Copies of this chain bind each other. A is one copy, B any other.
Amino acid sequence: MASPILYSSPLSGNCYKVRLFAALINVPLNVIDVDLAGAEHKEAWFTALNPWQQVPVLKSGSTVIWDSQAILVYLAELHGQNAWWPQDPVRRAKVVEWLSVSVNEIQHGPADARLVQKFGYPLSHAAAVVASQRTLGVIEHHLTTHKWLAGDEGPTLAECAAYPYLALAPEGEISLDEYPALQAWLRRVEALPGYIPLDG
């Protein structure tokens, strides 16, 4: 069976979430870069795949999944990756908590700050800094007593969803200096077998 296509962009943290997880579980993807600068993601063929006109999109035969969190869940379910997507209801819910944090508090904190600083998006960097400080503070406190986001048993999809934009925070001029537990967690993710960096 052909590898699924991942419509992606090299600098997108949301695409990196999926590429990272696929690397960690050793699942090959056929990565096709979408020309965001050329507005290819707003063309009709891409809008038909994802009405939100965003990467990443996973396409496998007639199956099309958009949203990076949904793609993570899909790949975990498809490949029976129960360590990354635990079957216990409490542990699974703990993963979903952090999928939501990745979509909201991390996106509208460090990820938005990076959009402004690196790509010139018309958002308020000051607002993103304030949001980032709250977000990073809560995560720092959590990681002071937990080895992994969704519990101590091991890394889960929560790591794949949260790591990219936390690791990339300095690109948005969000310093991680005051968050040693978070930094130690970044290093733990980077030590996982199969780990790839953003440009890997």
Contacts and interface: CB of A to CB of B under 8 A. Distances in A.
Given A100-B70, A107-B104, A77 B51 contact: no
A4 to B, nearest CB: 12
Contacts of A141: 51
Given A65-B97, A70-B100, A74-B93, 15 more contacts: A51-B142, A52-B105, A63-B90, A66-B97, A67-B96, A67-B100, A69-B96, A70-B93, A70-B97, A71-B93, A73-B96, A74-B92, A77-B92, A77-B93, A103-B103
Interface in A87-111: 89-90, 92-94, 96-97, 99-101, 103-105, 107-108
Describe A's contact surface by its main secondary structure: helix
Interface in A107-121: 107-108
Given A51-B141, A67-B96, A96-B67, A74 B101 contact: no
Closest 3 CB pairs of A and B: A74-B93, A77-B89, A70-B96
Nearest to A138: B51
A156 B101 CA distance: 21
Contacts of A93: 65, 70-71, 73-74, 77
Contacts of A63: 90
A78 interface: yes
A118 B114 CA distance: 32
A36 to B, nearest CB: 17
Interface string A111-154: 00000000000000000000000000010011000000000000
Nearest to A104: B103
Interface string A56-79: 000000010111011101100110
Contacts of A94: 65, 70
A25 to B, nearest CB: 14
